Amino acid sequence: MEQQRPMMDSGEKRLNELGYKQELRREMTLFKTLAISFSTMTLFTGITPLYGSSLLYAGPAALVWGWVVVSFFTWFVGIAMAEICSSFPTTGSLYFWAAHLAGPQWGPFASWCCAWLETIGLIAGIGTQAYAGSQTLQSIILLCTGTNKGGGYFAPRWLFLCMYMGLTLIWAVLNTFALEVIAFIDIISMWWQLAGGIVIVIALPLVAVTTQSASYVFTHFETSPESTGISSSAYAVVLSVLVSQYSLYGYDAAAHLTEETKGADKNGPIAILSSIGIISLFGWAYILALTFSIQDPSYLYDVNNETAGAFVPAQILYDAFHGRYNNSTGAIILLFVIWGSFFFGGLSITTSAARVVYALSRDNGVPFSSIWRKIHPKHKVPSNAVWLCAAICILLGLPILKVNVVFTAITSICTIGWVGGYAVPIFARLVMDDKDFRAGPFYLGRARRPICLVAFLWICYTCSVFLLPTLYPIKWDTFNYAPVAVGVCLTLIMLWWLLDARKWFKGPVRNIDVPNGKV
């Protein structure tokens, strides 16, 4: 009796229609994809490193309500992307979407811009996780060795750079194994963050000897011109909301894994929207827990305090546990939970970055593409692309030895590139004729135009504010270098396009014939 062929997965069928072979293993379930997407956004990694500066700019009210406002607009972006993901479930995701949605005339240019924005953003994203993870580890070591007041060891720049490089290399090594390993680790990550988040959100205010009043948390507004140099209240509020804008993205990770996800045309959009929902709720709860647990707002930034004024969340944890138990053990444990979140987040972003580099190389959009598009013969992962991302990330971190604003610059580059990459396919979807769009299971219908318009305008605003100076007066050690870095990168990319790439880069390159030529 002839053996029946297994039914083709809906995601694989759509991938074939788009002109691509199924080369990666399609073994990811919705839960595993959600775990990786959730880990890429991460509960602690956006809020923790920028919490102190955001609180300083405009006080708790702007910080707390800023999260709510940013969450609201993030839903527009997520919903717009979920519809496109449902129609185009490919690893190339954003730049593939841009190419097809922009049409044959503008498709190659849109694809080129989107691909490089996303690549820059994701690789810089690895750097943000490595930097903030090293910063958390620096505080853990300081508290374990006796605190800043008790002669504890504060890691110098060279050791900080070593920690940064070490994390990057560990993530690269783990990403050279089969994706099942990453998926398993990311499931641990999801439960780690959920359980750790619940513990911190509940335990921290309970442990704190005193808590701030609700009026302080929800209504207190206070600028700090003596520290920031910013006297304008409106400007201070704009900068205080950066923590939320930096934290609430990364949900496109689910789209990068659609060639490895079962039923990706349905499960990809579900993973995107579920990630936004979970992070929106837990992130706000985390901000509230930290803010309610502040003992002395002015002491948080004192360079002579127990954490050397270097990491405000660490000082909040220390004050709470030391005040209650007269030791820092509890603070160290919770800082380790937060550090774990950075570790898992960096691992997931490395996964996403490598997939984008692989997909772009597959379409000959990266120098020496033949090297970076190679798949590991055993593990079926783009291992060369993984190590390229890690090497560039390490280069981005080298200025740590001399420059004080490295994290500000890397964070801005990451956000502008990553979120800016979202804008290209969303704008293309906004202006295209709906009859040219082949809808997937998740379809917005008439609602797509207003949703895409709000999403696009929000992205433009987000990218703009990350170019602003964050401290005044502007000096060499306070200057936001992101405009220069992003400007140089975009200039080189545009020159490459005008002088050479436009002659040969045609966007996504099909590697199978498509019946009737339909996409």
> Which residue has tokens 């609430």?
248
pLDDT greater than 70 at residue 477:
no
Tokens of 195: 């359980």
Tokens of 218: 């929800």
User: Identity (one letter) of the amino acid at 260?
Assistant: E
**Distance between CA 423 and CA 369 in Å, rounded?**
26
Per-residue pLDDT at 5: 44
Tokens of 2: 């002839």
Q: Choose from 6-20, 248-262, 444-458 the range with maximum mean pLDDT.
A: 444-458
> With pLDDT > 70 as the criterion, what percentage of the chain qualifies?
81
- 290-313: per-residue pLDDT in tens? 999 998 888 888 888 888 888 899
- 119-158: per-residue pLDDT in tens? 888 888 899 899 989 989 999 999 999 888 878 888 888 8
**Distance between CA 43 and CA 345 in Å, rounded?**
9
| Arithmetic mean of pLDDT, 427-455 | 85
pLDDT greater than 70 at residue 518:
no
Per-residue pLDDT at 1: 43
Per-residue pLDDT at 14: 55
> Which residue has tokens 């020159």?
495
pLDDT greater than 90 at residue 276:
no
- 72-111: per-residue pLDDT in tens? 999 999 999 888 888 776 655 677 788 888 888 888 888 8
Per-residue pLDDT at 167: 94
> With pLDDT > 90 as the criterion, what percentage of the chain qualifies?
21
**Distance between CA 260 and CA 263 in Å, rounded?**
9
By the 10 Å C-beta count (0-12 exposed, 13-18 middle, 19+ buried), 177 is classed as middle
**Distance between CA 69 and CA 64 in Å, rounded?**
9
Question: Quick one: pLDDT band at residue 455, thresholds 50, 70, 90?
Answer: very high
Question: Quick one: pLDDT band at residue 166, thresholds 50, 70, 90?
Answer: very high
Query: Would residue 513 be called left, alpha or beta, if left means φ above 0 and alpha means ψ between -120 and 50 degrees?
Result: beta
**Which residue did the predictor score with more confidence, 462 or 151?**
462
Question: Quick one: pLDDT band at residue 4, thresholds 50, 70, 90?
Answer: very low
By the 10 Å C-beta count (0-12 exposed, 13-18 middle, 19+ buried), 475 is classed as exposed
| Arithmetic mean of pLDDT, 19-23 | 50
Domain 30-503 has CATH 1.10.1740.10: no
**Distance between CA 426 and CA 449 in Å, rounded?**
10
Per-residue pLDDT at 509: 60
Q: How many C-beta atoms surround the C-beta of residue 491 within 10 A?
A: 10
Per-residue pLDDT at 178: 62
**Can you give the length of the chain in residues?**
519
**DSSP three-state, residue 103:** helix
When the pLDDT of each residue in the chain is averaged and rounded to a whole number, the result is 81
Tokens of 502: 């436009």
Please state which of the ranges 56-65, 184-193, 381-390, 456-465 shows the lowest mean pLDDT.
184-193
pLDDT greater than 60 at residue 17:
no
pLDDT greater than 50 at residue 32:
yes
Tokens of 300: 């948080």
Q: Choose from 330-334, 377-381, 480-484 the range with maximum mean pLDDT.
A: 330-334
Tokens of 354: 């490598």
**Which residue did the predictor score with more confidence, 421 or 258?**
421
- For the chain, the structural domain boundaries read 30-503
**Which residue did the predictor score with more confidence, 508 or 4?**
508
Question: Residue 156 contacts by C-beta under 8 Å, 6 or more apart in sequence?
Answer: none
Tokens of 200: 């911190």
pLDDT greater than 50 at residue 26:
no
Per-residue pLDDT at 72: 95
Question: Quick one: pLDDT band at residue 471, thresholds 50, 70, 90?
Answer: confident
Please give the sequence-ordered ranges of beta strands (E in DSSP) within 250-391, or none if there are none. none
